[in-house]
Amino acid sequence: MTTFLDGNSLTLDDVARIATSPEHRVELGSEAKQAVKRSRAVVEHHVESNEAVYGITTGFGEFANVRISREDLEQLQENLIISHSVGAGAWIPRHFVRAMLVLRINALAKGYSGIRVETLETLVQMLNADIVPAVPEQGSVGSSGDLVQLSHIALAAIGKGRILTKEGTIKPSFDVLAEHGIKPIRLQAKEGLAMINGTQMMCAFGALSVHKALQLSETADIAGALSAEALRGTDRAFDERLHKVRGFSGQLQSAQNLRNLMQGSEIRESHRDAAVDNRVQDAYSLRCMPQVHGASRDAIGYVRSVIEREINAATDNPLIFPEGDNPADGVHLEGGNFHGQPLALALDFLAIACAELANISERRTERLVNGALSGLPRFLAPKGGLNSGLMIAQYTAASIVSENKVLCHPASVDSIPTSANQEDHNSMGSIAAQKGWRVVQNLERVLAIELLCAAQGVDFLKPLRSSVALEAVRGAIRAKVPFMEIDRVVYDDVEAVRDLIERGVINAVVQGE
């Protein structure tokens, strides 16, 4: 499959697919190539006329007032890449770097960056050959974009960096490019700056985090519905009339999901009679699932809208605006589209939204293992005392949601000046992006624990059966994790369920897929 990049039509699904599928190819669209050529012609005119243009004929940051001689313009760009490659920490996983590459190519393809087509084509060749630069995770302050991380990508493209192989080893980029018949880029005026001024690291983490969070918001409803069944909760709190009078779309969607998931359940029918079950209403972790899950759904939807806009944005500086066919009429505008504040705020919000899905999930897990609250065997152990059952599974969930609370401290409220106070407000969006991804991963683990416990709880209610959809979920879990009669290593069980979530199996079986 091939995706054509034009700077305007890349989608969230495209980014996720390209990031995780090395066989997926990209190509520059013909209109994109023409747009790139027009902006390049404007840059070359500025060079010929010796006009003072930031980053083209001047130094960078605090050195913007230093004019650079024409014979040093190429060296200026290479020096920029070398000097800015100052990352620290572990290597960013390969699929995130692939996402960074496609996002940067797409931004440059808009035709406002002044880069040459052949330079852009080299980045395309690298992505299609699955040549993934080794990029350290630390170093971006989220303004002037993700300068450090993008510099390490550019360093690899000019043959002076490193490549992170599929096996996890590191090789010199010059050697790997040669193996694939790719010539290292020899940077010309503006090109180094064009390659590193942008938000593509934080946007890559944001895109893949949102893509996963959208899936997990569906899984949260499934886990919650299975827990409600195990705890013999009511579905009256999910009545559409109740949710319409408040009107939040996420709440309405979650309520509908919960109704559909529990529809036709024998377990639900077994306790409709007030003489059998005199409870008037359930605890909040069951009754308020539509309100809590729905609020997180709406928040994730907002973050998605921000990420989808940024995916197709021009984010470097200066931006080049060709006017007509004459390059002399072109305009360069120095500004700050590289500033990560829109992403920083949104990604902090994403972390909070996902942490809340995990918080309420852990509370349902607590009710499942607490015999005083559930009416089920304590800690879901058939022979409790000799066996501890799923006691410590709830401990792990509690530990993870506590970690999330620390990770949800907003990165975007911080700013440390850089570049001799020329860059005196920074977004810290890269930090928001990376901790946001960790919260999303944590949510997946907490939901896996809830599903594991809920399936065990429903098994105790046999011969009553749940709905068709939830029986399919329980069946998918039981195909990998048998009912726990006696104690065993629960880590393996949690990982097995987490793998089902990650591969989309839990969501798919509900749809009958």
**In a shared domain, residues 124 and 57:** yes
Closest by Cα among 437, 431, 438, 436 to 143 = 431
Judge whether 119 lies within some domain: yes
What region does 168 belong to: left with phi over 0, alpha with psi -120 to 50, or beta?
Answer: left
Judge whether 323 lies within some domain: no
Residues in the chain: 513
Question: Domain holding 23: CATH number?
Answer: 1.10.275.10
Asked if 11 and 82 touch (Cβ cutoff 8 Å), the reply is: no
Examine the pLDDT at 68 and tell me if it is beyond 90: no
Asked if 331 and 420 touch (Cβ cutoff 8 Å), the reply is: no
Residue found by looking up tokens 């024998």 in the block: 266
**Quick one: how many helices (H) and strands (E) in the chain?**
21, 8
> Mean pLDDT over residues 337-357, rounded?
97
Judge whether 485 lies within some domain: yes
Distance CA 143, CA 140 (A): 8
Distance CA 119, CA 157 (A): 9
Examine the pLDDT at 62 and tell me if it is beyond 90: no
**In a shared domain, residues 366 and 474:** yes
> Mean pLDDT over residues 201-213, rounded?
98
Distance CA 34, CA 185 (A): 20
Asked if 348 and 357 touch (Cβ cutoff 8 Å), the reply is: no
Q: Which of 142, 177, 198 is the last residue of a domain?
A: 198
**What is the share, in percent, of the chain residues with pLDDT greater than 70?**
99
Distance CA 443, CA 350 (A): 12
Q: Which of 198, 216, 234 is the last residue of a domain?
A: 198
CA 26 from chain centre, in angstroms, equals 21
The residue that leads in pLDDT, 67 or 344, is: 344
One-letter amino acid for residue 209 of the chain = S
**In a shared domain, residues 459 and 382:** yes
Token representation of residue 229: 């069944």
- 155-202 confidence digits (pLDDT tens): 999 999 999 999 999 999 999 999 999 999 999 999 999 999 999 999
pLDDT of 116:
96
> Mean pLDDT over residues 71-91, rounded?
93
**In a shared domain, residues 187 and 222:** no
> Mean pLDDT over residues 352-356, rounded?
98
Is the peptide bond preceding residue 463 cis, with omega within 30 degrees of 0?
yes
pLDDT of 25:
96
Give the up-direction half-sphere exposure of residue 60: CA atoms within 13 A in the CB hemisphere: 24
Examine the pLDDT at 423 and tell me if it is beyond 90: no
Query: With bands split at pLDDT 50, 70 and 90, how would you rate the model's confidence at 445?
Result: very high
- Reduced to 3 states (helix: H, G, I; strand: E, B; else coil), residue 231 is coil
Asked if 202 and 346 touch (Cβ cutoff 8 Å), the reply is: no
Distance CA 200, CA 12 (A): 13
**In a shared domain, residues 51 and 139:** yes
Q: Cα-Cα-Cα-Cα dihedral of 471, 475, 476, 482, to 10°?
A: 140
Distance CA 249, CA 290 (A): 10
Residue 54: active-site member: yes
What string of DSSP letters covers 320-374?
A: EE--SS-GGG-EEE---TT--HHHHHHHHHHHHHHHHHHHHHHHHHHHHH-HHHH
Asked if 435 and 456 touch (Cβ cutoff 8 Å), the reply is: no
Distance CA 306, CA 308 (A): 6
Is the peptide bond preceding residue 318 cis, with omega within 30 degrees of 0?
yes
- 288-301 confidence digits (pLDDT tens): 999 999 999 999 99
**In a shared domain, residues 456 and 400:** yes
**What is the share, in percent, of the chain residues with pLDDT greater than 90?**
86
- 490-500 confidence digits (pLDDT tens): 999 999 999 99
**In a shared domain, residues 231 and 275:** yes
**In a shared domain, residues 214 and 165:** no
Asked if 457 and 230 touch (Cβ cutoff 8 Å), the reply is: yes
Distance CA 149, CA 136 (A): 7
**In a shared domain, residues 341 and 466:** yes
Judge whether 487 lies within some domain: yes
Query: With bands split at pLDDT 50, 70 and 90, how would you rate the model's confidence at 268?
Result: confident
Token representation of residue 103: 């996002």
> Domains in the chain: how many in total?
2
Judge whether 284 lies within some domain: yes
**In a shared domain, residues 214 and 250:** yes
Question: Domain holding 292: CATH number?
Answer: 1.20.200.10
Beta strand 25-28 with 170-172 is unpaired
Q: Where are the beta strands (DSSP E) in 161-204?
A: 162-164, 170-172
Query: With bands split at pLDDT 50, 70 and 90, how would you rate the model's confidence at 348?
Result: very high
> Mean pLDDT over residues 299-326, rounded?
95
Residue 220's domain spans which residues?
Answer: 206-318+332-419+426-510
**In a shared domain, residues 85 and 115:** yes
Those residues whose C-beta lies under 8 Å from the C-beta of residue 376, and which sit 6 or more positions away, are 230, 231, 368, 457, 460
- Reduced to 3 states (helix: H, G, I; strand: E, B; else coil), residue 485 is coil
Judge whether 326 lies within some domain: no
**In a shared domain, residues 302 and 185:** no
Q: What is the mean pLDDT of the chain?
A: 95
Closest by Cα among 47, 141, 41 to 88 = 141
The residue that leads in pLDDT, 76 or 250, is: 250
Closest by Cα among 16, 21, 11, 203 to 128 = 21
Judge whether 264 lies within some domain: yes
DSSP state of 180: T
- 402-417 confidence digits (pLDDT tens): 999 999 999 999 999 8
Judge whether 324 lies within some domain: no
Query: With bands split at pLDDT 50, 70 and 90, how would you rate the model's confidence at 378?
Result: very high
Q: Which of 179, 198, 217 is the last residue of a domain?
A: 198
Examine the pLDDT at 272 and tell me if it is beyond 90: no
Measured N-to-C along each axis, helices 289-311 and 249-262 cross at an angle, to the nearest 10 degrees, of 120
CA 276 from chain centre, in angstroms, equals 46
Q: What share of the chain is helix, strand, coil (3-state, %, to 5)?
A: 60, 5, 35
Which of 54, 112, 284, 491 is flagged as catalytic? 54
- 89-145 confidence digits (pLDDT tens): 999 999 999 999 999 999 999 999 999 999 999 999 999 999 999 999 999 999 888
Q: How many CB atoms lie within 10 A of CB 106?
A: 25
